[in-house]
Each structure stands twice: as structure tokens, then as C-alpha cells.
């Protein structure tokens, strides 16, 4: 039987941050990172999140993954409420994976690649032969067989993002979230890592949520796009429709500015 719940659900989620006083006589203030966000993502969907810097994209995914507690509203995963304050969320870690933007700061330079990737298995308390699981996943993402025993400095940016994918997937999560996972890579490497991502999605039946500032990659990556602006979700719909006839003024601006950039990075 299929699960009647959406995989991810946010119901009127708001997140405000306290900001320290800037001067002796100023009061502490607050910044709204995310305002009144409601959305559902079904298993198997691929969703792109776009929007300018500071629009709330990272804040949104941090709520989804239980990495931050909402100020108000509720988050749930497969029908179960995500409550970071009350719950260690081991169950959610097992079912999700995350890839960050910066391939250079996301690995501990003193740990081998094998150790870094195995952290996901240890954290998820998955039983079995971790070494074999890590080796199989490193091979699947296209890395040389001896990678596990080497250190991060021996790898290029593109290879490190492959390692980051291996670490995010080795425990076989259902949801893979990327916060600008290819933004730091040059154009050709970006295209290859994106192709790998779409292959892995198919192969593992993943639900994908990817933040990107590059509208050019969105059509190939995601059939649905969410546009954020000033902490709010201002548009949410099928990618093709959104790019062809954006309704929100901000999305129109975004789409218009894309047309002045070189064509998508998917060629070559
Ligand atoms: N820990 C925090 N403390 C204070 N303010 C924060 C914090 N995290 C985010 N913010 C603020 O919340 C807003 C949304 O930030 P967020 O990081 O979600 O944006 P973003 O869309 O991911 O931007 P970028 O594209 O630059 O990564 C911004 O105004 C930001 O300054
Ligand atoms: Mg961000």
C-alpha cells in the first residue's frame, strides 16, 4: 500500500531569528528567515527551490530536515511530526541526506574519505558491512576504487561533490536535499554531477529537493519549482509552466534575467 501522507509537509511554518543589539543603547531585534510557509512534497517528486540571496531557501530546508526549530507552524515527514527540541530525530536522519555547496569545507581533512562517508551509516545506526557499503557507493558515484583510503585534499571539487553525494546516499535515504550542490563547480563538471544526480534519483527512487540560483539547470533537474522572495514562497508550480508564464513579478524578473545569460550548462 502506498503511504497516504506526503513525504514532506510544512504547515504555516515561520522562523524568526533574534539578532543581537548593534550598539549599547539598541535593543535586540529579529529577522524573519521564513514566513508562513505551507507546502507538501510527495515521494518521488523533484523540486527546485530558487530565489535571491537571503530569500529564505536554506532556512526552508533546515526546517524540513529538523535542523532548526520553527518559531511557529508544524513540519512533518511521512506523517510524523518533526520536533527537534523533543526528539533526537535519528529516524529522520536515516531517511534523509544532505549535500552542501562548498566541496572544500564539507569534509574533515584528517579523516579518510571512507571514514567520512561511513559517518552516515554510523549516525543512522545501520547494520552490516559498512566498508563494503561505502566502497559500493563510492564506485557508484564514479570514484576510483582506492578512494576510501585517501584524504580529501587528494580530490578535485567535482570529485568531492561526488563524495558528498556518496555520504548523503550511502544509508539509502528517501529524500535527498541539496543546498546549491553544484554552484561551486565549473560548467562542465557541473553538468556531469547534475547528470549523476538525475541518474541516482531514478535508480534509488529518490525524492529530490535542490536549491539553486541557476534557473538554467532547473528544467532538467526538477519538474516542480518553488520561488522564494523575502522569506515567503511566492510561486510553486510545474517548472515548465513557471518558466513559460511566471505569475509573480519577482519570478518574471528572475526568468527575464535568465534569458540574458548564456544557455543552460547542460550542453557539453
Ligand atoms: N542563524 C541566523 N541568525 C540570524 N539571521 C539568520 C540566520 N539564518 C538566516 N538568517 C536570515 O534569514 C534570512 C534568510 O536566510 P537564508 O540563509 O535562508 O537565505 P538563502 O535564501 O538561503 O540565501 P543564500 O542564497 O545567500 O544562501 C536572511 O535575512 C538571513 O540573514
Ligand atoms: Mg542559503
Ligand (nearest to CA of 214): 1
pTM comes to: 0.92
pLDDT at 40: 98
Ion ligand 2: residues, CB within 5 A, are: 58
Q: Is any ligand 1 atom within 6 A of the Cβ of residue 17?
A: yes
Closest CA to 106 of 119, 93, 95: 119
Is the Cβ–Cβ distance between 90 and 125 less than 8 Å? yes
Closest CA to 119 of 166, 159, 161: 166
How far is the C-alpha of 61 from the C-alpha of 49, rounded, in Å? 9
> Computed from CA positions of residues 50, 53, 55, 60, in that sequence, does the dihedral angle turn out positive or negative?
positive
Q: C-alpha angle with apex 172: 166 to 174, nearest 5 degrees?
A: 115
Which atom of ligand 1 lies nearest, measured to the CA of 15?
12
Domain ranges of the chain: 8-259
Q: Is any ligand 1 atom within 6 A of the Cβ of residue 58?
A: yes
Q: How far is the CA of 48 from the centre of ligand 2 (A)?
A: 13
pLDDT at 1: 55
Q: How far is the CA of 34 from the centre of ligand 1 (A)?
A: 9
Q: How far is the CA of 35 from the centre of ligand 1 (A)?
A: 12
**Sheet architecture: strand order including 46-50:** 96-99, 175-179, 207-211, 46-50, 224-229, 232-238
Averages of pLDDT over runs of 10 residues in the chain (268 residues) are 84 94 82 97 97 95 97 98 94 95 87 95 90 96 94 94 96 96 89 93 97 90 96 96 91 80 47
pLDDT at 267: 44
CATH of domain 8-259: 3.40.50.300
Amino acid at each position: 500500500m502506498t503511504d497516504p501522507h506526503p513525504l514532506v509537509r510544512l504547515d504555516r511554518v515561520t522562523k524568526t531569528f533574534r539578532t543581537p543589539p548593534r550598539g549599547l543603547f539598541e535593543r535586540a531585534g529579529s529577522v524573519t528567515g521564513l514566513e508562513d510557509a505551507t507546502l507538501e512534497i510527495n515521494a518521488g517528486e523533484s523540486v527546485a527551490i530558487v530565489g535571491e540571496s537571503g530569500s529564505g531557501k536554506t532556512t526552508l530546508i533546515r526546517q524540513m530536515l529538523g535542523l532548526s526549530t520553527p518559531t511557529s507552524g508544524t513540519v512533518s515527514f511521512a506523517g510524523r511530526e518533526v520536533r527537534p527540541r523533543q526528539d533526537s530525530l535519528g529516524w529522520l536522519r536515516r531517511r534523509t541526506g544532505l549535500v552542501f555547496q562548498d566541496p572544500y569545507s564539507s569534509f574533515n581533512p584528517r579523516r579518510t574519505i571512507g571514514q567520512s562517508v561511513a559517518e552516515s551509516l554510523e549516525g543512522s545506526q545501520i547494520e552490516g558491512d559498512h566498508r563494503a557499503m561505502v566502497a559500493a557507493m563510492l564506485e557508484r558515484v564514479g570514484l576510483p576504487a582506492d578512494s576510501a583510503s585517501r584524504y580529501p585534499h587528494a580530490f578535485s571539487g567535482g570529485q568531492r561533490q561526488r563524495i558528498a553525494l556518496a555520504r548523503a546516499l550511502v544509508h539509502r535515504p528517501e529524500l535527498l536535499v541539496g543546498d546549491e550542490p553544484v554552484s561551486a563547480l565549473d560548467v562542465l563538471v557541473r553538468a556531469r554531477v547534475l547528470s549523476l544526480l538525475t541518474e541516482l534519483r531514478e535508480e534509488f527512487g529518490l525524492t529530490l529537493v535542490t536549491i539553486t540560483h541557476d534557473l538554467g539547470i532547473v528544467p532538467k533537474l526538477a519538474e516542480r519549482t518553488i520561488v522564494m522572495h523575502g522569506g515567503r514562497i511566492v510561486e510553486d508550480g510545474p517548472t515548465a509552466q513557471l518558466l513559460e508564464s511566471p505569475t509573480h513579478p519577482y519570478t518574471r524578473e528572475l526568468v527575464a534575467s535568465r534569458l540574458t545569460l548564456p544557455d543552460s550548462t547542460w550542453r557539453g
